[in-house]
Amino acid sequence: MSKLIPPHGGKGLTCCLLEGAELDAEKKKAEGLTKIPISPREKGDLIMMGIGGFSPLTGFMTKADWKGVCDKFLMADGTFWPIPVTLSASKEEAAGINEGDEIALYDPEDDEIMATMKVTEKYEMTEADKKYECEKVYMGEGTPTAEEFWKIAKDDHPGVQMVMEQKDVNLAGPVKVLSEGEYPTRYAGVYMRPAESRKRFEERGWSEVAALQLRNPMHRSHEYLCKIAVEVCDGVYIHSLVGNLKPGDIPAGVRVKCIDALVKNYFVEKNVIQGGYPLDMRYAGPREGLLHATFRQNYGCSRMIIGRDHAGVGDFYGMFEAQTIFDKIPAPEGEGKALLCTPLKIDWTFYCYKCDGMASLRTCPHEKEDRVLLSGTMLRKMLSEGGELPDHFGRDEVVAILREYYEGLTEKVEIKLHGAATGKE
């Protein structure tokens, strides 16, 4: 019997990905169905449902699920879930679709049918509904009023832009996933299904596993967070996003190389496993921290490392709001309905010249000028502008990989700094 944390939802890993003869038959049937184009975010959500990463979800959410998740972090059946997982279609696309119909979900970028879906409900998403979702899911303590939030969110918050650009009708229903897209081949050896990560943890005899979420290259602060977790858990799963990011973020392939260099040179390799998952970032800060813990539970992780400004963007969230939100969520009764993966809360970390090493606000008594404040955003900005990095900002092996990447860019994206990146907050 496994010593690992059980998957979320109490139903084991709910995998919607078809294989073998069943897959071949469904692909053939899909060619004759009405095709609905999907966004990159919806594609990632589909794949996660396919491989069990979003257990217990087996389809896109109903209106009752959507409302319950926005308001109470609970789906209609009372299971904890922090962020809506929905599929949108235009009014024209939805007009010919009735409840009970089967449709094909089509990725226009790669010209591939990703899934079939039985539509159990379709419901309108007005602009007011979309704004409601944004305020419930994306508005944090950094913008205390809705008026302040909307002054900047439409231009500066990529997650809000994603929601507001959704089409006007949501389609709900169970899916049969036909493909994992490019991920198994493009990120071979890194991309893993939850069943695969669980198998690797069990082979190493791990039971208490901490997950490190990465969307930036792994700098010294990430390394330190990881090493704290290694001290208190059996192992750490360095789990990097390999889906889409916002302009200016560093591509997954470059980040994977950086992690490889760090693990090889600065970790006891038997205590660390690197993996990748196929979602797009939503930049939902605290709510996304909860989502990260929810699907890491499915991957076999019992702890989620939550540091400063987890999954944040700009100054929309309080520095440690993604930690405190774990203390405010409901704990529904019923097998598997509550979130079991708990946060490993770690304070702001940095290199301190006087301490002569990595430290945190809980351990270092010195002044701000004695510290090298580490931030993925700051790292990207300095490298993109060809600037010199302060001593101890990053490992030489990682900086060399990143410099090579930036020197090869023909187009540069301006990278905005915010309070968390500069250390002003």
Give the chain's end-to-end CA distance (angstroms, integer): 47
pLDDT at 425 over 50: no
Query: Of all helices (H) and strands (E), which one includes residue 129?
Result: helix 127-137
Q: Which residue has the higher pLDDT, 122 or 409?
A: 122
| 89-117 mean pLDDT | 97
At 355-391, the pLDDT tens digits run: 999 999 999 999 999 998 866 667 777 777 777 777 8
> What is the torsional sign of CA 66, 15, 38, 171?
negative
Could you tell me if 395 and 297 lie in one domain? yes
pLDDT at 103 over 90: yes
At 297-343, the pLDDT tens digits run: 999 999 999 998 899 898 999 999 999 999 999 999 999 999 999 99
The residues near 6 (Cβ < 8 Å, ≥ 6 apart) are: 12, 297, 336, 340
Q: Over pLDDT 90: what percentage of the chain? A: 78
Could you tell me if 300 and 171 lie in one domain? no
CATH of the domain at 97: 3.10.400.10
Which of 2-11, 31-40, 213-222, 291-300 is the least confident region?
Answer: 213-222
| 110-124 mean pLDDT | 97
Residue with tokens 């969110």, as numbered in its chain = 153
pLDDT of residue 373: 80
Which is the catalytic residue, given 170, 193, 216, 303? 216
The residues near 86 (Cβ < 8 Å, ≥ 6 apart) are: 60, 61, 66, 125, 166, 170, 172
Could you tell me if 228 and 330 lie in one domain? yes
pLDDT of residue 413: 52
pLDDT at 96 over 80: yes
Confidence tier at 402 by pLDDT (50, 70, 90) = confident
Task: Write down the number of H helices and E strands in the chain.
Answer: 16, 15
pLDDT of residue 422: 46
Q: What is the DSSP track for 273-287?
A: EEEEE-PPP---THH
pLDDT at 130 over 70: yes
| 242-256 mean pLDDT | 79
| 22-37 mean pLDDT | 98
Residue with tokens 């580490």, as numbered in its chain = 374
pLDDT of residue 424: 44
303 tagged catalytic: no
pLDDT at 24 over 50: yes
Could you tell me if 192 and 117 lie in one domain? no
pLDDT at 414 over 70: no
Integer Cα distance of 338 and 58 in angstroms? 18
Could you tell me if 101 and 210 lie in one domain? no
Helix axes 146-156, 127-137, angle to 10 degrees: 100
pLDDT of residue 250: 80
CATH of the domain at 219: 3.40.50.620
Give the helix ranges, DSSP H, for 138-277: 146-156, 158-164, 183-186, 194-203, 220-232, 252-266
Integer Cα distance of 239 and 303 in angstroms? 13
Integer Cα distance of 241 and 40 in angstroms? 14
pLDDT at 418 over 60: no
Indicate whether 87 belongs to any domain: yes
| 121-125 mean pLDDT | 98
Question: In this structure, what DSSP letter does residue 179 have?
Answer: -
Could you tell me if 56 and 195 lie in one domain? no
pLDDT of residue 220: 87
Indicate whether 152 belongs to any domain: no
Q: Phi first, then psi: give them for residue 303, nearest 5 degrees.
A: -130, 145
Could you tell me if 239 and 266 lie in one domain? yes
Could you tell me if 106 and 204 lie in one domain? no
pLDDT at 249 over 80: no
Indicate whether 154 belongs to any domain: no
Could you tell me if 407 and 275 lie in one domain? yes
pLDDT of residue 382: 78
pLDDT of residue 374: 65
Pairing mode, strands 303-306 and 342-345? parallel
216 tagged catalytic: yes
| 257-265 mean pLDDT | 91
pLDDT of residue 417: 47
Domain that holds residue 385: 188-422
Domain count, the chain: 2
Could you tell me if 175 and 232 lie in one domain? no
pLDDT at 15 over 60: yes
Indicate whether 142 belongs to any domain: no
Which is the catalytic residue, given 198, 215, 220, 296? 215
At 267-285, the pLDDT tens digits run: 999 999 999 999 998 999 9
Could you tell me if 93 and 204 lie in one domain? no
| Helix (H/G/I), strand (E/B), else coil: 124 | strand
Top mean pLDDT of 109-113, 375-379, 403-407 is at 109-113
Indicate whether 153 belongs to any domain: no
Indicate whether 212 belongs to any domain: yes
Whole-number mean pLDDT of the chain?
Answer: 92
Indicate whether 135 belongs to any domain: no
Could you tell me if 330 and 209 lie in one domain? yes
Integer Cα distance of 56 and 90 in angstroms? 27
Which of 35-49, 90-104, 192-206, 302-316 is the least confident region?
Answer: 302-316
Farthest CA pair distance, the chain: 68
Indicate whether 155 belongs to any domain: no
